[in-house]
Structure 1
Amino acid sequence: MTGDVVRLPLPEKTVGSRLIVVARAQHAEDYDAALESLLDAGIRSVELTLTTPGTIERLPQLLERFGDRADLGVGTVTNTDQVARAADAGARYLVTPITAPELLAAALQAGVPLVPGGFTPTELFASWSAGASAVKVFPAGRLGAGYVKDLRGPFPDIQVVPSGGVDLDSARQWLDAGAAAVSVGGPLLGDAFAGGDLLALRQRAESFVAVASDGA
């Protein structure tokens, strides 16, 4: 990797907490109550996904309410128009499940950190060497935490964020193996966006925060 690679750092709260919660709601209006519970539990980074209708339009309001307490990013970004719109709305970082150089170029131009997804060493290193803020190993549930060590052999500086199928036990394993952060969805959120108990959501979130804080 050359020394002139432009790499935007992930925002401070995300780096410090080592935990990103992936929020997939039915509607963007559903975010508020769950975010309140998550942030009360100590969550400091939430990826709001574009599979939820109205996410970008809702983001400025969410930032006004929660932006001083947590980094709010936008995920499931798959084209450059979405990169531009999410950046304009104030996203603190962007996440994509794919390896697409044009998305990284657009994010760098917009001045917003991007975490591209990949599965193979070739995909992950391509994004990392092109200036990704970190690389998202997806779907991480198909792999073990030892994959971090495997990647660090040829790519010692690579910053890895596993996503997809990461539960409480595997979150601990990935972080112990050297992952920069873990990205967690269903195992933490459960039925929170389907009328589930928000107190139970907070308790699950507190358990993940404790794991991510251990050894940080």
Structure 2
Amino acid sequence: MATNASFSWEHFHNAPIVGIIRGLPLTVVQPIAQAYQEAGLTTLEITMNTLDAPETISALRKEFPNMNIGAGTICTMGDLTSALDSGAQFIVTPVLVEEVVKRAVAQQIPVFPGAYSPTEIYQAWTWGASAVKIFPATQLGAHFIKDILAPLNEIKLLPTGGVSRENIHAFFAAGAVGVGMGSSLLDKQLISENNFDGLKEHFIKIKKEIRDFTAT
């Protein structure tokens, strides 16, 4: 599947959480995605260091056409090509890779490159990043987002790593345009128990934490 139907910014802004799926087989990812969609969440990232990631992205694109399905952990041009060939609608990197960012921008594919320092953040933005992924956000916290946006108020920030139900509201209050969430969103116990109804309720509770910052 090589078609990259447009990323829906409307869907993203209605539920600005990027759910990060890493290391799970398609048979598990499919019911997760179903619960995710039913909870009103819209944007899922499959990391490219997941076994059969391109096949998973392609399958999700077909099964969930109203969701944003993207690829994460893109570190090389080979990763980018594989992701786009599978139909990924957006690209996420853990670090700054200039050629990856600029190629995605040139192809009008939303890209969220990972950055940490103010200089890296500004550099990513000047290359055309759709939003800059602040990674890892664990030690930085919401105050860092507020501090960065004081002088660099036009940059869109997407903190990732360490975002939880307990602190997600604080990140949005500080000015984040969205967040990336992995383990705190994808509850391992619920998934191991195949409790996807419980997982859906978990998703709904997290989404409610940011209702003040979304259109829905």
Considering the TM-score relative to the shorter chain, is it more than 0.5? yes
Deviation at 1:20, TM superposition (A): 1.2
Of the structure 1 ranges 189-198 and 130-139, higher mean CA displacement relative to structure 2 is found in 189-198
**Residue pair 2:159, 2:180 contacting (<8 A) in 1 also:** yes
Match of 1:29 among 27, 30, 34: 27
Instruction: Give the superposition deviation at 1:196.
Output: 4.3
- One-letter amino acid matched to 2:195: D
Match in the other structure for 1:107: 104
Deviation string, structure 1 residues 110-169 (Cα, Å, up to 9, x no partner): 321110001111111110111100000111111121112211122110100000011012
- Asked if structure 2 preserves the Cα contact closer than 8 Å seen for 1:28 and 1:52, the reply is no
**Structure 2 Cα separation of the partners of residues 81 and 110 of structure 1:** 15
Matches of 2:180 and 2:151, distance apart in 1: 24
TM superposition score normalised by structure 2: 0.89
What are the ranges of 5 or more consecutive residues in structure 2 without an aligned counterpart?
Answer: 1-5
C-alpha distance in structure 2 between counterparts of 1:34 and 1:77, whole Å: 22
Task: Tell me the SS of whatever aligns to 1:52.
Answer: coil
Distance 2:45 2:21 in 1: 6
For 1:160, the aligned partner's letter is L
Equivalent residue, structure 2, for 1:63: 61
Higher relative helix content: 1
Of 163, 172, 175 in structure 2, the residue corresponding to residue 166 of structure 1 is 163
Whether the 8 Å CA contact 1:96–1:116 is kept in 2: the answer is: yes
- In structure 1, the residue matched to 2:124 is 127
State the 1:28 CA deviation: 3.1
Q: Distance in 1 between matches of 2:118 and 2:202?
A: 32
Q: In the alignment, is the contact (CA less than 8 A) between 1:10 and 1:93 conserved in 2?
A: no
Distance 1:85 1:12 in 2: 26
Pick from 140, 143, 162: which aligns with 1:143?
Answer: 140
Answering whether residue 177 of structure 2 is matched by residue 180 of structure 1, we say yes
Q: Percent identity?
A: 28
**Structure-2 separation of matches of 1:128 and 1:118:** 10
Structure 1 residue runs without a partner (length 5+): 1-7
Residue by residue over 1:144-201, the C-alpha shift from the partner in whole angstroms, topping out at 9 and shown as x without a partner, is 2111221112211010000001101211100111100011111111115434421221
Conservation of the 8 A alpha-carbon contact between 2:8 and 2:68: no
